Structure 1
Amino acid sequence: MGVTLAVLTSGGDAQGMNPTVRAVVRSALHHGAEVHAVYEGYQGLVDGGDRIRHVAWDDVGYILTRGGTVLGTARSAEFRDRAGRRRAAANLVARGIDRLVVIGGDGSLSGADVLRAEWPSLLAELVGAGELDQETADRHPVLALVGLVGSIDNDMVGTETTIGADSALHRIVEALDAIGSTASSHQRSFVVEVMGRRCGYLALAAALAAGADYVLIPERPPQPGWEDDLCELVRAGRVAGRRNSVVVVAEGAHDSANQPITSAYVRTVLEERLGEDTRVTILGHVQRGGVPSAYDRWMSAILGSAAVEELLAATPETVPPLVGVRGNRVHTVPLHEAVTRTRELADRITARDFDTAQKMRGDGFTEMVQLFESLSRALPDTDRDSSPRSRIAVLNVGGLAPGMNAAARAAVRLGLHRGHTMLGVDGSFRGLVAGDVRELAWGDVSDWTGAGGAELGISRDVPAVEDLYAIGRGLERHGVDGLLIVGGWDAFASAGTLRAERHRYPAFQIPTIVLPATIDNNIPTSEMSVGADTALNHVVSSIDRIRETSAATRRCFVVETMGGYCGYLALMSGLSGGAVRVYLHEEGVTLSRLAADVEQMVDSFAAGQRLFLAVRNERASEMYTSDFLRRIFEQEGRGTFDARQIVLGQTQQGGSPSPFDRILAARLAARAVAWLGDEMAAGSAASAVIGLHEDGVRIVPLQRAEELADREHRRPTDQWWMRLRPTVDMLAARTAAGPGV
């Protein structure tokens, strides 16, 4: 008898649950397992009948873009009683199910663990009551269980990110951006309440991404007299020229005595003490709504596939795992341990042990707390002495990337707060030579956090030998002591040129650091570049609109992404958008492969398929262009379907940066400015690259990064995301009637 498993969603709905269900079902079918879906959460387990249904490949088609959960979710009082769990066990065994994937929060996962622990005794009771024969019970001695965290709150210990948190953060930041616009128009203050009864992640991350003035979260409550501190920060911001003030409040916010702090009370404080025209906005369930973000699709796909592998490998001795995330990798911990520690964290807050609670959230959470406090308090200081200050220049090099402005803003404000003079170079190295350099003040970067484009301008010109003397003179003329280069491969190459020529040009003997900002995501030693997440969301949004047209006709689309020779955008948008084929330069394109793809495409349309989606990296092949693919696909379709080519072009570089890119930009800029300060104080002339690694932000010597570079193809020699290629194929490659979406 083959393996039979079931999947259910429970607790509050979260964007990304549907992509997870899709991945679980298709991964299980790929491995030859039979799959059932449980509708309406644990109540569906108790009710049985048509609430536990066999599902096939097509049953999870076209759910990738949907918010909420198509399986439904419901609170079940019956499941909390042993009698209800006995009925649930009976319904599962009747269908041969003894393996279960549960997608939900800590309460849902805890309930599943109770069912697993009671399973042998529940079956024994069923046998004793004559409701189950012993032979059947013996075939299912244990219930194998895997937990996946579906929660917008990002409140589970044991995983860096929960399914739905990134999408919810998108909704919140979109609202904060809109509120900021109207607040500036009227010089108002806004108090915005977001979800997070026991976890302040959404409030903290949103406040950091949107450049809010103040944030109130459960893990770090303000000390007595916090009202004075809040008013002073808002007052100082107004004096500095800020036209609006935004305070973000987690719904579970409280003071250090665990007394609730409501958004209404914060409004009262601002109105009565400062005379501020203040409004309150409670975002509510809009945070749960809308389509899942690109991250909540591709990461959910990986988690769902990993959950199936864990279930299929489970033995009677296997400890049920929680499958989560750490540094863009699947990370597992014992389920019971994760639930227990999550509840312990809540107990720590109740006991007012806030330091321990914050530490339990992880290093990334603590870093965001410290970064927000630094940025919110980095206000103009008119009392500084007149002693000479170190001068740090910031310039952009290479193609445009959303988030460049956020990086410059954080660097300028934190640099000024540390006592440096911050110089903005307009137009990259060309501007340095031409003298387009200006001192940046606190107010100059006020509105840069969510702004697209690049306020400092940009240029793809990499310094040539004949430019070096003029660049050196520019550095000397403006007294530059440290250099922050923001950009992509051209920025990386420029820093390498300056490092290599230090012995000839004394002006280059200053600390220099590269902050990766490129939609190509191709800088060695950095897994994620600023701008790549925004571009990926743009591509996926375009694919969603393209997908909708398939309801009207049978059509093949070839979608071309940017990326140069790096296939990050193509592969990840294929995974997030449900592409059937992805063509990458890293793998190449062959005629034999195209022939096989054409054959499968024709067969799939003949079997009733309405859409065949292919994503092609712009440099996948010099010979087999997107137009060539379109022509060959349409020719071989012989009128049964038509083919279209979509070249997304520069739209991938535009728009307001995503919350992830804003936060990443601020994290990297803060560390880069601190590093420059230390190196300048030590009289160093080091060169480095800062980047996000599996274990957090790291600064790597530039020479080491250059050793890991494929210079011919302008990409790293090792690219972590290529390991996800098998998942793309597995979720697309149905063998019976052709590929599905």
Structure 2
Amino acid sequence: MVSNLSISIGVLTSGGDAQGMNAAVRAVVRSALNLGVAVHAIFEGYQGMVDGGDRIRSLSWDDVGSILHRGGTIIGTARCPVFREREGRLAAARNLLRHGIDRLVVIGGDGSLTGANLFRQEWASLVAELVERGDIDELTAQRHSALMITGLVGSIDNDMVGTDMTIGADSALHRIVEAIDAITSTAASHQRTFVVEVMGRHCGYLALMSAIAGGADYVLIPESPPSENWEQEMCDLLRNGRAAGRRDSIVVVAEGACDNAGGPISSDRVRQVLQDRLGEDTRVTILGHVQRGGTPSAFDRCMSTLVGHAAVQELLSATPTSEPQMVGMRYNRVRQAPLMQCVEQTHAVARKIAEHDYAKAMELRGSSFTEMFQTFKAMAGAPPSVIPPARPRRLAVLHGGGLAPGMNTAARAAVRLGLDRGHTMLGVRGSFEGLLAGRIEELSWGDVEGWAAMGGAELGTTRQAPTVEQLYTVARALETYRIDGLLIIGGWLAYRVAHNLYSERERYPAFKIPIICLPASIDNNLPGSELSIGADTALNAIVEALDRIKQSAIAARRCFVVEVMGRHCGYLALMSGLASGAERIYLPEEGVSLKDLQADVERMIEGFHGGRRFYLTIRNERANAQYTTDFMCRLFEEEGHGLFDVRQAILGHVQQGGNPSPFDRVLATRLAAHCIDFLTRELERGSAAGAYIGLVEGKVMISPINRMHDVVDLEHRRPTEQWWMDLRPVMLGMARPAADAV
């Protein structure tokens, strides 16, 4: 139990369980062990702290192996009324001191974190009382005079202020959207209406985002109750959607939904209103705790690992006078914020809802939440919210480059939001080849019905770019179809063509229209955006495959070399390695040398001699032109001399297939809304800028297309700066056995 720093950390999970808690526990344990710090798991939350005994146990490196894919929490959680009493906290302090623990990582919701802070505040008096009782000696009291805590938020509701995402929220959203997708198919078959109730007593995040991702018609959230005449407005909206071609109707209700007077709006009440006023067969589905269960998503595994790693760093740098911090994600980066300030602001949202100050509640949720709520309402209404002008502007949407899940979602959002603005929306079939051939058609609200959940690209996409000789034909097509603005959804090829069109404006006046590119590429290699549409879906597909590979190999002594896509960008390789617990990744940004492979073989042999049963390596498809996946397998097999066998798996185009993840659907919708805003503004101003859009540190950024070459590595088709490369040390820390730690 003695460590080279003479420090012991305790980690516990408390309150409701959330997918990703195990990843956070694993990260805390391995980060601490890598720093030579003893770490103890406190089983069953605060109850285990009060009970003591074998409910507080030291953990080794292998104790947290193979838990990334597991839902719930392996160290348990329980309600503990006795901890609310001073006598219970006194017992908890005594039990912690028996293990030399005076630093805690608490993973839970606002109630759990509030309890931890009270415990911290009372610590000095508790310790003094234990000395007085003779339970501990004076030296122990001096060595552990203060309790330091760091909080991680485990809550599927995503209701904590100070972090953009809480542990478990993304996985819960996956469960909900999977259910809505399944319900939609049966509802459409029978032309039925379904009411889906999701969790969220004081927070409408799950309801709103699942409504956007699932293509629902109406949503009820606690932060923004509907108008007094909401029953009729809801029925009119659903009736208009049916008239526009929709076969089903989906209404999503947060469990805390209420009217303007604060009265609850239950899912059964919604069902009764719809059945009575529309005369339709209406069913209710209450998802309940299925939202908490199941395998955590790739995002939750990665995020929980990152915040768990950061929590240990924060805890070890804390002093007795330090203000306790909450570690979360802000703008796609790990960030710390004062713990109790975040808890107080979270409680403030609930208070504002209770006081019927809904405008303030929405403000406290943040601008992006409000923005997405307004976007959903604009997409859900079939008639435009404005009177179309006598000569509506004509905006065209096309795809370019390789397929990325979420392309359909982006096109649907663009069409519906464009129609809502009074524009005429055109779809180009067959990408740039379709533009050359004139395969251009007007799209209505109903034409894009169902596209939110669909993988593939209904408008079609190709990797063929117009040649220099074909630019004249492109110009003629734009003139013939009177295209006033162009939205291109795609990857590297789409950006290159947009840049060429902008560069040739003086030769071809038809190109003097506003043009904007929306990033859609599983490779996540596009400039001006930290995340491209399709990358999250591909990452989840990879992680799901890796989970199965690990299950198939665990019974044997085996090394797997798994090849993933990405071209010259290692994003998918690194993030899937972080989410799956891989021991080694090979990135094109770093390359691979024979010396590297020799060291890897030696590490494998040492591990298998030490009892290891499985070794996972992930190789980007272009990590090295000579050291291929097959070469690596043969090398590892030969040098292993029968100690272990080696298998390879090339995942291929399964990474591009499937329905888009909830994250990709929401991102596609958000970026499409900003693209339509951009094109509308440019046309209103009479200007014709060329641009590309993206998410940078959580904010939507629009960059000029003519400056694109300043921020890209043209040879390798990737941005010159890639934010995710900074995560490489965390990946290494999670994979390296503690015995090898520096």
* TM-score category, normalised to shorter length: over 0.9
Q: TM-score, normalised by structure 2?
A: 0.98
Write the letter of the residue equivalent to 1:445. V
Instruction: Output the CA distance in 1 between the equivalents of 2:510 and 2:684.
Output: 17
- Cα-to-partner distance string for 1:595-631 (whole Å, 9 max, x where unaligned): 1110000110111111110011111111111111111
Per-residue deviation, 1:390? 1.0
Q: Which residue of 2 aligns with 1:211?
A: 215
Q: Is the 8 A contact 2:33 2:738 kept in 1?
A: no
Could you say what secondary structure the match of 1:558 adopts? strand
Alignment-mate amino acid for residue 594 of structure 1 = L
Q: Tell me if 1:250 matches 2:231.
A: no
The question of 1:68 aligning with 2:92 is answered: no
Separation (CA, whole Å) in 2 of partners of 1:427 and 1:164? 39
Aligned to 2:654: 651
Distance 1:411 1:695 in 2: 21
Q: Which of the numbers 700, 703, 706 marks the counterpart of 1:700?
A: 703
Q: CA deviation at 1:384?
A: 5.1
Deviations 1:535-588 (A, max 9, x none): 000000000000001222111111111111000000000000111001001011
The one-letter code sitting in structure 1 at the alignment partner of 2:331 is: G
What is the number of residues matched between the two proteins? Answer: 738
Which stretches of structure 1, 4 residues or more, deviate above 4 A after TM superposition?
381-386
CA offsets per residue over residues 68-119 of structure 1, 9 Å max, x none? 0001000001100000000000000111000000000000000000110000
**What is the CA distance between 1:361 and its match in structure 2?**
1.1
Residue in structure 1 matching 2:634, options 613, 631, 637: 631
TM-score (norm 1): 0.98
- Aligned mates of 2:391, 2:309 — CA distance in 1: 58
Query: How far is 1:385 from its partner?
Result: 5.6
Which among 705, 723, 740 is matched to residue 720 of structure 1?
723
Equivalent residues of 1:607, 1:737 under 8 A apart: no
Is 1:161 aligned with 2:165?
A: yes
Equivalent runs, 1:319-468 vs 2, <5 Å: 319-377=323-381, 379-380=382-383, 387-468=390-471
Residue in structure 2 matched with residue 535 of structure 1 by the alignment? 538
1:295 pairs with one of 292, 296, 299: 299
Runs of 5+ consecutive residues of structure 1 not aligned to the other structure: none
What is the aligned partner in structure 1 of residue 737 from structure 2?
A: 734
Task: Within 5 Å, give how 1:604-615 maps onto structure 2.
Answer: 604-615=607-618
> Aligned equivalents of 1:441 and 1:710: distance in 2?
40
8 Å Cα contact 1:428-1:458 kept in structure 2:
yes
Per-residue deviation, residues 226-251 of structure 1 (Å, max 9, x unmatched): 10111110111111111110100001
Which amino acid counterpart does residue 280 of structure 2 have in structure 1? Answer: E
What residue number does 2:666 align with?
A: 663
Q: CA deviation at 1:705?
A: 3.0
Letter of the 2:273 counterpart: V
Q: State the alpha-carbon separation in 1 of the partners of residues 688 and 362 from structure 2.
A: 37
Q: Give, in angstroms, the shift of residue 370 of structure 1.
A: 1.3
Percent identity over the alignment is 62
CA distance in 1, matches of 2:419, 2:82: 60
2:643 maps to what in 1? 640
Q: Pick from 194, 200, 204 the counterpart of residue 190 of structure 1.
A: 194
User: In structure 1, the residue corresponding to 2:585 is in which secondary structure?
Assistant: strand
**1:736 alignment partner, SS class:** helix
In structure 2, C-alpha distance between the alignment counterparts of 1:209 and 1:385, rounded to whole Å = 28
Q: Distance in 1 between matches of 2:650 and 2:236?
A: 51
User: Is 1:119–1:143's contact at 8 Å kept on the other side of the alignment?
Assistant: yes
Q: Which residue matches 1:589?
A: 592
What CA deviation, in whole Å up to 9, does each residue of 1:263-289 have, x standing for no partner?
000000001111011000000000001
Q: Say yes or no: does 1:36 pair with 2:40.
A: yes
Q: How does 1:491-530 map to 2 (within 5 A)?
A: 491-530=494-533
**Equivalent position of 1:144 in the other structure:** 148
Say if 1:603 and 1:737, in contact at 8 Å, map to a contact too.
no
Answering whether residue 96 of structure 2 is matched by residue 92 of structure 1, we say yes
Higher mean alpha-carbon deviation, 143-152 vs 362-371, is at 362-371
Q: Residue 161 of structure 2 aligns to a residue in which SS?
A: coil
CA–CA separation in structure 1 for the residues paired with 2:212 and 2:417: 14
Q: Which amino acid in the other structure matches residue 39 of structure 1?
A: F
Query: 1:567 is matched with which residue?
Result: 570
Assess if the C-alpha contact under 8 Å between 1:217 and 1:249 holds in 2. Answer: yes
- Opposite residue 636 of structure 2, the aligned amino acid is F
Would you say 1:8 and 2:32 are equivalent positions? no
AA aligned opposite 2:504: E
**What are the Cα deviations for residues 206-265 of structure 1, in whole angstroms up to 9, with x where unaligned?**
001111111111100112111011111011111111111010000111111110100000
* Matches of 2:534 and 2:90, distance apart in 1: 51
**1:550 match:** 553
CA contact (8 A) 2:191 2:247 kept: yes
Cα distance, 1:735–1:125 mapped onto 2, change above 3 Å: closer
Secondary structure of the 1:613 match is: strand
Q: Give how far 1:462 is off.
A: 2.1
Indicate conservation of the 8 Å contact 1:544/1:577, yes or no. yes
Aligned to 2:176: 172
Gaps of 5+ in 2: none
1:301-331 Cα deviation digits (max 9, x unpaired): 1000000000111111211000011111011
Find out whether 1:282 has 2:286 as its counterpart: yes
Residue 114 of structure 2 corresponds to residue 110 of structure 1: yes
> Aligned partners of 1:166 and 1:525: how far apart in 2?
24
**CA displacement, residues 417-452 of structure 1 (integer Å, 9 cap, x when unaligned):** 111111110111111111111111111100100001
The CA deviation at 1:683 is: 2.0
Whole-Å Cα distance in 2 between the matches of residues 414 and 186 of structure 1? 28
Contact 2:34 2:738 in 1 (8 A): no
Q: What SS does structure 2 have at the residue aligned with 1:285? A: helix
Counterpart CA distance in 1 for 2:401 and 2:263 is 51
Shift of 1:735: 4.5
In 2 relative to 1, CA 475–35 (structure 1 residues): closer, same or farther, beyond 3 Å? same
**What letter matches 2:646 in structure 1?**
A
**What residue identity is the alignment partner of 2:124?**
P
Give how far 1:168 is off.
0.2
Contact 1:604 1:737 in 2 (8 A): no
C-alpha spacing 1:447/1:98, structure 2 compared with 1 (3 Å): same
Q: CA RMSD in A?
A: 1.3
**Distance in 2 (alpha carbons) for counterparts of 1:37 and 1:92:** 11
Q: Kindly indicate whether residue 693 of structure 2 is the aligned counterpart of residue 686 of structure 1.
A: no
Deviates more, 1:601-610 or 1:458-467: 458-467
